[in-house]
Amino acid sequence: MVHVTDEAGGEQLTLAGMPAVRRRRAASHGESAVAPERPVAQVYIDLPPLHLDHPFDYLVPASMDDVAQPGVRVKVRFGAQDVDGVLVARTAEAEYAGRLVPLRRVVSPVPVLTPVVLRLARLLADRYAGSLVDVLRVAIPPRHARVEAESGTRHVASTPGRPDDVNQTGTDPAGIAHAGASGAATAAGVSLSSSAWTDYRGGAAFLQRLVAGSSPHAVWTALPGADTNGWATAIAQAVAATVVSGRGALIVLPTGRDVDEIAKALVDVGIGPWVPSESSDAGFVRLVADDGPAPRYRAFLAVLRGEARVAIGTRSAAFAPVRDLGLAVCWDDRDELHQEPRAPYLHAREVVVARGDVDGCAVLLGSVTRSTAAQQLVELGWGHAVEADRETVRRRTPRVRALTSIELAREGPAAAARLPGEVWRVLRSALERGPALVQVPRAGYVPVVACSRCRAVARCVTCHGPLGVRHQRGGTPECRWCGRLASSWRCSVCGSGALRAVAVGSERTAEELGRAFPGVPVRLSGAGSPSGVLAAVDDRPALVVATIGAEPRCPAGYAAAALLDAATSTLRPSLQVAEQALHRWLSAASLVRPAHAGGVVVLVGDAAPGPTQALVRWDPAGFAARELAERRELRLPPAVRIASISGTRDAVEAVLARLDLPGSAEVLGPVAVDGPVTLELSPLEQEVRAVVRAPLAEADAVSRAVKVSMAARSARRESGTVRVQIDPGDSL
């Protein structure tokens, strides 16, 4: 960083190595032009270089004294440009000894960054070896000036502290504690019940502690169920218990469909949506990007100002500035949608867990399965496992069968069919009682084709991408990468021009089922299907073909479910493949009626034995415990801290050379990343990856060392590209 003084003596900041820029003469600021008290503003500027991840000092003009408060958005001069920033503190003295330049302007007087969210963002930025502004881009939605003008530019009062006296509690007939008069007054109309938690060991006790104002941590393995005993009702009852105690809550969910479902459940317990014209603060708001920038920012301001007590939304809702936060919930923490795709690649589960540490609130991690990360929290004593006993599990779950090649051997050659005879019989029987679900791991018609003679995967002659048939039978194959049609394709191995299907997608499956079951409606659910992702289907007999994660809800539950191509789900070489497959299967199977109501689930294919047996026994906790034990023995995440450093070879090696690691850490690699070799690139320009591994006790030291090295890289403006990811979701 270079400090350049202009003609008026004001200091301008610019990056090292940048050419000198002619500057306008700055107006001289005398003592009367500067704020009389705490005249120095500490500002984080919104620029990506990691070596700029610290506050910069600026003067506060007297004209901005009232509005330039901690948490507001500002414009500042940095080098030769005006940049955005957020003011985090006002001080009496500057850390820098030279002359300072003043703030350019206050963009908005609304303090959108609260002290709690600032501490949370700083903690996560350091843990994930990223910058604070990258975290704040996720935590704070973009400004919408018209929304701010709707309710004026009044300031947001500071968050009140939690009262020292805890509400007196008693116990209601349902076995759940209830709040005294002060708690009931702040949550008029909210009904308390523990009906959805009675099947879980420790469930009612968890709600009692919430009502009493305590902050327990729990890892909850939810049972299948709909309506009054489903996961959404259970979460809503936990939120109601928290609201009655006089505190707020936030709920983080993977999809907008889940947000809609939890919104309905909250209304059922007496927590309605926030209405701007009403004075009640017990309502909820939605923080979902798909709702649009204006509704999202309006909901954010309602939470910020304390006008709404509960916030629900997708992964960025984990940063919602809820007043006096009492409960943070992350539902379905194993879902891939909880992973932020942008640096520093935050995971909603880790944000919610950190929120419990920073806010001192209760935390609930829930899912129909259990991730290895959640299992590790249980084994480390961070929280208690809330789960049902085996008798209850058998009563609430469907009957599950794994149709492997051994199970189907008696069918002879027909056992090799994608839809064996047993699957047809299960679907035919189910359609007599209601709808049947068919889960397909791939979308499209025929996503992958191969040479019919030598079985080599067909590839595009232009970009070498895989070929597939996008739509109807007999369609022309096209490249899935560049979209070029392959009307005159010839195999590069044997010269044949005939193709065969390697993988069958959801559209082809729906077509086959429609021909096999004439007169039965076939519904297709998926992001690429004509009807899109279906939220729900009714209880009338129908075949519902859905891709993974797009399975619609059914009010009374499906009569049966067929999980196709199970071998495909566990063939991929990945550390997470078995855990991911079990999560996908259990998520679909949980939509089926229990066994006593005739619910049946069939898994078709020779998948890996571990997740297959866990599905048949419906034992996600046992599978997670065994998986974690194996990873601990092999020193794989989450049992250890992993920092993945990938990029061009010369850049990665330079970053590794500067690492000041603790003695217990080790560096693996760098090695070439699997992928097509580009002959135009030199060996130093090829992409490689290195892995830094250390015990959890040294996790913070590893993150700090990687961040320091990356900051030095950005300050020196080194060439090449480098990507850093702490505890990546897919390490192998």
* DSSP code per residue over 368-429: SS--HHHHHHHHTTSSEEEB--HHHHHHHS-EEEEE-TTTTGGGGGGGGSSS-HHHHHHHHH
Beta bridge partners of 553: 536
In sequence order, the β-bridge partners of residue 367 are: 221
pLDDT (average), residues 212-219: 97
Structure tokens at 108: 């908005």
Does position 184 have pLDDT exceeding 90, yes or no? Answer: no
Q: What is the mean pLDDT of residues 497-505?
A: 77
pLDDT of res. 160: 38
Question: What's CA 301's distance to the chain center, in Å?
Answer: 22
- Check residue 29 and give its pLDDT: 43
Residue-level pLDDT at 204: 94
Residue 495, helix vs strand vs coil: coil
Q: Are 383 and 218 in contact (CB under 8 A)?
A: yes
Six-digit token string for 276 = 């701007």
Q: Scan for tokens 């084709």, then name that residue.
A: 449
User: What number of H helices and E strands is found in the chain?
Assistant: 19, 30
Cα–Cα distance for residue pair 496/489, rounded to 1 Å: 9
- Per residue in 410-456, pLDDT (tens digit) is 776 665 667 888 899 999 999 999 999 999 998 887 777 788 778 78
| Domain residue ranges in the chain | 2-111, 179-392, 399-627, 640-726
CA distance 694 to 701: 9
**pLDDT digits over 638-663, tens only?**
999 999 999 999 999 999 999 999 98
* 17's tokens: 């190595």
Taking the C-alpha atoms of residue 489 and residue 497, their distance in angstroms, rounded to an integer, is 6
> What integer pLDDT is reported at residue 166 of this predicted model?
32
Nearest Cα neighbor of 169 from 208, 226, 116, 128 is 208
The mean pLDDT of 138-144, rounded to a whole number, is: 95
Tokens of 386: 């809330």
Evaluate the CA torsion angle 616, 619, 624, 630 in order and state its sign: negative
In tens, the pLDDT along 473-490 reads: 557 888 877 888 888 888
In this predicted structure, what is the pLDDT of residue 659?
A: 96
Q: What is the distance between the alpha carbons of residues 501 and 507, in angstroms, rounded to a whole number?
A: 13
Predicted confidence at residue 188, as pLDDT, reads 66
- Reported pTM: 0.87
Angle between helices 348-359 and 372-379 (to 10 degrees): 30
User: Of 9 and 277, which is predicted with more confidence?
Assistant: 277
pLDDT digits (tens, 9 = 90+) for 194-212: 999 999 999 999 999 999 9
Q: HSE-up of 342 (CA within 13 Å, CB side)?
A: 11
What are the residues facing 721 on neighbouring strands? Answer: none
| Model pLDDT for residues 666-702, shown as the tens digit of each residue | 999 899 886 544 445 556 667 899 999 999 999 999 9
CB 227 within 8 Å of CB 246: no
Residues 373-406: tens digit of each pLDDT:
999 999 999 999 999 999 999 999 999 999 988 7
Residue 632 near residue 646, CB atoms below 8 Å = no
Q: Is the peptide bond before 115 cis (omega within 30 degrees of 0)?
A: no
Q: Going by DSSP bridges, is the β-strand pair 170-171/177-178 parallel, antiparallel, or unpaired?
A: antiparallel
Contact 158, 167 (CB under 8 A): no
Q: Which fold has domain 179-392?
A: Rossmann fold (3.40.50)
Q: How confident is the model at residue 125 (pLDDT cuts 50, 70, 90)?
A: very high
Task: List all residues 6 or more positions away from 47 whose beta carbon is below 8 Å from its beta carbon.
Answer: 78, 83, 133
Using DSSP bridges, classify how beta strands 467-468 and 478-479 pair: parallel, antiparallel or unpaired.
Answer: antiparallel
How confident is the model at residue 414, as a pLDDT? Answer: 60
Q: What is the pLDDT of residue 191?
A: 86
| 562 Cβ neighbours under 8 A, 6+ residues apart | 419, 423, 426, 427, 436, 437, 438, 439, 601, 602, 604
CATH classification (class only), 640-726: alpha beta
How many other β-carbons are positioned within 10 Å of the β-carbon of residue 122? Answer: 17
41 in Cβ contact with 103 (< 8 Å): yes
Question: In terms of Cα–Cα distance, which of 511, 552, 507 is closest to 533?
Answer: 552
In sequence order, what DSSP letters do the residues of 506-533 get, joined into one string?
A: HHHHHHHHHHHSTTS-EEEESTTSTT--
- Which comes out higher in pLDDT, residue 281 or 153? 281
Q: What angle do CA 236, 242, 243 make, to 5 degrees?
A: 90
| Residue partners of 446: CB distance under 8 A and separation at least 6 | 468, 469, 501, 503, 504, 505, 508
Segment 105-129 shows an average pLDDT of 96
Phi, psi of 241 (to 5 degrees): -60, -35
State the average pLDDT over residues 523-530.
Answer: 88
Per-residue confidence at 227, pLDDT binned at 50, 70, 90?
Answer: low
In the predicted model, what is the mean pLDDT of residues 709-725?
Answer: 94
Cis peptide before 344 (omega within 30 of 0): yes
Question: Percentage of the chain surpassing pLDDT 90?
Answer: 66
**Where does the pLDDT of residue 169 fall: very low under 50, low under 70, confident under 90, or very high at 90 and above?**
very low
290 close to 532: Cβ distance less than 8 angstroms? no
State mean pLDDT over 130-152: 91
Cis ω on the peptide bond leading into residue 670 (within 30° of 0)? yes
Please report the pLDDT score of residue 373 as a whole number: 96
Contact 556, 539 (CB under 8 A): yes
**204's torsion region: left (phi>0), alpha (psi -120 to 50) or beta?**
alpha
Average pLDDT of the segment spanning 575-590: 94
Packing angle between helix 256-268 and helix 231-244, nearest 10 degrees?
Answer: 60
Comparison of pLDDT for 99 and 247, the residue scoring more? 247
Residue 674 pLDDT: 65
Structure token pair of residue 194:
């523990």
Which residue in this structure is represented by tokens 């702040």? 186
Choice among 158-162, 188-192, 324-328, 722-726 with the minimum mean pLDDT: 158-162
A 10 A CB-CB count for 168 gives 13
**In the predicted structure, residue 409 carries a pLDDT above the cut 80:** no
Q: What would you measure as the largest C-alpha separation in the chain, in angstroms?
A: 94
More confident residue, 616 or 7: 616
- Helix (H) or strand (E) holding 300, with range, is helix 293-304
Alpha helix positions (H), 577-694? 577-589, 609-617, 620-634, 649-657
236-260 average pLDDT score: 96
Residue in the block written with tokens 């850490």: 665
The pLDDT value given to residue 455: 76
Decide if pLDDT at 558 tops 80: yes
Q: Rounded to the nearest 10 degrees, how much is the dihedral formed by the CA atoms of 569, 571, 574, 577? A: 30
Query: Residue 118 to residues 123, 340, 662: CA-CA distances in angstroms?
Result: 9, 19, 28
State the pLDDT at residue 573: 78
Q: Which letter, b or e, does each residue of 386-415 get, where b requires 16 or more Cβ atoms within 10 Å of its Cβ?
A: bbbeeeebeebbbbbbbbbeebbeeeeeeb
The residue to which tokens 């069918």 are assigned: 411
- The answer on pLDDT for 314 being more than 70 is yes
Angstrom CA distances, 202 to 107, 179, 711, stand at 49, 20, 46
Strand ranges in 235-373 using DSSP code E only, listed in sequence order: 248-252, 284-287, 310-313, 325-331, 362-367
